[in-house]
């Protein structure tokens, strides 16, 4: 169990982390998700021991490691740009962590080589041990970096935007492969990403960060279906958001009732968020949102429709079953919101 207790970090006048509390369970795959500048990489570096907090504690299994250097923490760290040793072969890279062990624990040369080749086998690069990193593709380099981090048998694996420098196809393959690897090894892992798809696909739990605070921690499903704040709703997945007035459990937009909220919420100004797939097309009737189609294109199995809503500048994005004919620009559609999240107004954008 990794425990972070009110971690605070400040760079000159910029407050990078504001009293972060977080628990990471054993064997868990946790994603730190957030836009750039949200503090997610800083937090990861503090967990690794590559940076140190101004206040707060980092505990591994209850033991306070706040002031331990990275070398003493037994963590594996994988960098976005691989950070391989260019002048060493792939096998030497992987074996590096073993070859720098102190005299008493230093394995023999053949032992190190054997272990390195085993790990290269694990990352499916068994044939490339004698190559140099410069001769490998990006995806291969990242797998070497992973094997190198695993060679020292870390208690915790930390990955900083591990797929950030790779192209889409390689990224997807490597993602799937990493998930399988994690399932096999069960090593507690934390990875940083700004890509919500990546976080939702890979992680057991996601911590969404913004401006140095954790907005929400939860399973990908919780994060997507029940965002706690407007920011999370906005950042994870596509979202339409409308300024509404709550009157007796009903959300009204420009005087028109558009969504009947089940459950109690404070009266007054609020923000209503709904996903593109949370709507159905209705016959022109009450309780609907009338939009004028400005564009429609195929997005996988649905039509993604961009429409203008009177009284709102940003276009509304909705998905419509592609069994129906493609909506034409200028066409009017009446949308019925089936599912929505309501946030109090101070969080509204």
Partner 1 sequence: MASLAAPAAIEGQYLDFRSPLRWRRGRKAKRPRSIIPGFGLTMGFTLAWLSLIVLIPLSLIFLRSAGMGWEAFAQVAFSPRAIAAYRISFGTALAAALVNGVFGLIIAWVFTRYTFPGRRMFDALIDLPFALPTAVAGIALTAIYANNGWLGQYLEPLGITAAYNPIGITIALIFIGLPFIVRSVEPVLIDLNVEVEEAALSLGAQPWQVFAHVIFPAIMPALLTGFALALARGVGEYGSVIFIAGNMPFESEIAPLLIVTQLEQYNYDGATAIALVMLAISFAMLLFINVVQAWSRHRTGA
User: Does the footprint of partner 1 cover residue 100 (CB under 8 A)?
Assistant: yes
Distance from C-alpha of 32 to C-alpha of 148, rounded to nearest angstrom: 22
Beta-strand runs (E) in the chain: 2-11, 14-24, 29-33, 55-60, 63-64, 75-78, 156-160, 188-193, 205-210, 213-218, 240-247, 250-253, 256-260, 268-274, 279-281, 289-299, 302-309, 312-321, 332-337, 341-344
Q: Which lies closer to partner 1 via its Cβ, residue 75 or residue 203?
A: 75
Phi, psi of 8 (to 5 degrees): -125, 135
CB 338, min distance to partner 1, A:
47
CB 39, min distance to partner 1, A:
18
Distance from C-alpha of 140 to C-alpha of 174, rounded to nearest angstrom: 9
User: Does the footprint of partner 1 cover residue 164 (CB under 8 A)?
Assistant: no
Distance from C-alpha of 213 to C-alpha of 28, rounded to nearest angstrom: 21
Q: Which lies closer to partner 1 via its Cβ, residue 51 or residue 170?
A: 51
User: Does the footprint of partner 1 cover residue 129 (CB under 8 A)?
Assistant: no
Binding mask 23-62 for partner 1 (x = CB under 8 A): -------------------------xxx------------
User: Does the footprint of partner 1 cover residue 134 (CB under 8 A)?
Assistant: yes
* Stretch in the footprint of partner 1 (CB under 8 A) among 25-33, 92-100, 189-197, 205-213: 92-100
Q: Which lies closer to partner 1 via its Cβ, residue 89 or residue 294?
A: 89
Among 6, 35, 54, 81, binds partner 1 (CB under 8 A): 81
Helix runs in the chain, H state only: 40-48, 90-99, 109-122, 138-151, 168-185, 196-202, 220-225, 230-235
Catalog residues that contact partner 1 under the rule CB under 8 A. 48-50, 69-71, 75-77, 79, 81, 83-87, 96-97, 100-101, 131-135, 145, 148-149, 151-152
């Amino acid at each position: 169990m990794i425990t972070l207790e009110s971690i605070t970090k400040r760079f000159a006048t910029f407050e990078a982390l504001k009293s972060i509390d977080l628990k990471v369970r054993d064997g868990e795959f946790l994603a730190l998700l957030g836009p750039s500048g949200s503090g997610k990489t800083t937090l990861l570096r503090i967990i690794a021991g590559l940076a140190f907090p101004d206040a707060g504690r980092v505990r591994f299994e209850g033991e306070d490691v706040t002031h331990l250097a990275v070398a003493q923490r037994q963590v594996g760290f994988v960098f976005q740009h691989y950070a391989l040793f260019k002048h060493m072969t792939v096998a030497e890279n992987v074996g590096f962590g073993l070859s720098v062990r102190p005299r008493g624990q230093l394995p023999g040369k053949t032992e190190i080589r054997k272990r390195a080749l085993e790990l290269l086998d694990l990352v499916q690069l068994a044939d490339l041990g004698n190559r140099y990193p410069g001769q490998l593709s990006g995806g291969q380099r990242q797998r070497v970096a992973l094997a190198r981090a695993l060679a020292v048998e870390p208690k915790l694996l930390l990955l900083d935007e591990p797929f950030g420098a790779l192209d889409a196809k390689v990224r997807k393959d490597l993602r799937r492969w990493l998930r399988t690897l994690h399932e096999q090894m069960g090593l507690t892992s934390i990875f940083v990403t700004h890509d919500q798809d990546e976080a939702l696909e890979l992680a057991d739990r996601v911590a969404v960060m913004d401006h140095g605070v954790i907005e929400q921690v939860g399973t990908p499903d919780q994060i997507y279906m029940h965002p706690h704040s407007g920011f999370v709703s906005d950042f994870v997945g596509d979202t339409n958001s409308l300024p509404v007035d709550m009157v007796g459990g009903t959300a009204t937009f420009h005087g028109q009732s558009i969504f009947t909220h089940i459950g109690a919420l404070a009266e007054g100004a609020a923000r209503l968020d709904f996903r593109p797939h949370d709507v159905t097309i209705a016959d022109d009737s009450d309780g609907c949102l009338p939009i004028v189609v400005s564009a429609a294109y195929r997005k996988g199995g649905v039509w993604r429709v961009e429409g203008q809503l009177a009284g709102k500048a940003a276009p509304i994005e909705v998905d419509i079953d592609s069994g129906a004919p493609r909506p034409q620009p200028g066409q009017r559609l009446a949308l019925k919101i089936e599912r929505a999240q309501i946030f109090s107004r101070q969080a509204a954008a």
